[in-house]
Amino acid sequence: MQLTPDQDIVLRLGDFSLNATVVNTWIVMAVLVGGSLLVTRNLRPDVPPNRWRTLLETIVQMIQSQIGEITQTSARHVMYFAGTLFLFIALSNLLLVVPGFSPPTSSLSTTVALAISVLCAVPLFGIASGGLGRYLRHFIEPSVVMLPFNVISEFSRGISLAIRLYGNIMSGAVIAAILLGVAPFFFPVVMDMLGLLTGLIQAYIFAILATVYISSATAADPPSNAEDTP
């Protein structure tokens, strides 16, 4: 039993091998970008929106609203980043129901990559928002003694993000695989339904936490109890 799709090699060209994680990621990317292209290809203000455009507008406005509530600003670049995190993770987790499809998020490499992206994005957004000095200053607040703890806290965020997402998605897939062997007709369906719900919740949590981290780096007064979220 494979716990991660990284070990599933889809294509091998000499020393270069292409595993299922990357291929499935491309599939998710293709679905997202292709759907967006199809919906937004004929976008004019004088044309009434169809149901797909309305769906996308609802999703985008929901993301914008959630991010706006957290950051108290209407910064679009945060939405581009956090929204893409949510859409990618959500769609990957939803595709769990497709037989033979291993969600990229069930790969620790993917979740680590996403966590690293968040870890890199937080200082970048913070520096872009208030400058390098202000960003570095928050590591020694409230005193210089807190510097190692703040650094550890900064990295532990990324690690917790990565492990949380990986654990939830991988465990769902593993449990579904185990139950498929035990009771092949009933439990996998229930577990898949549960996996869909868990996947959406995890996507929401991952995106929200990323937004909170970015917001804490860009805002003057970072919100408290950010880590209390499941």
Which residues sit at the interface with other proteins, rule CB under 8 A?
3-4, 6, 19, 21-22, 25-26, 29, 32-33, 36-37, 40, 43-46, 49, 53, 56-57, 60-61, 64, 76, 79-81, 83-85, 87-88, 104, 107-110, 112-114, 116-117
In this complex, which beta carbon is closest to other proteins, that of residue 43 or of residue 151?
43
The minimum distance between CB 39 and other proteins, in angstroms, equals 8
The minimum distance between CB 183 and other proteins, in angstroms, equals 26
CA 18, CA 21: separation in Å to the nearest integer? 8
CA 209, CA 82: separation in Å to the nearest integer? 9
Radius of gyration of the chain (CA): 20
CB 24 within 8 A of CB 96: no
In this complex, which beta carbon is closest to other proteins, that of residue 29 or of residue 196?
29
CA 20, CA 110: separation in Å to the nearest integer? 11
In this complex, which beta carbon is closest to other proteins, that of residue 64 or of residue 198?
64
In this complex, which beta carbon is closest to other proteins, that of residue 44 or of residue 224?
44
CB 40 within 8 A of CB 53: yes
Q: Is 211 helix (H, G, I), strand (E, B) or coil?
A: helix
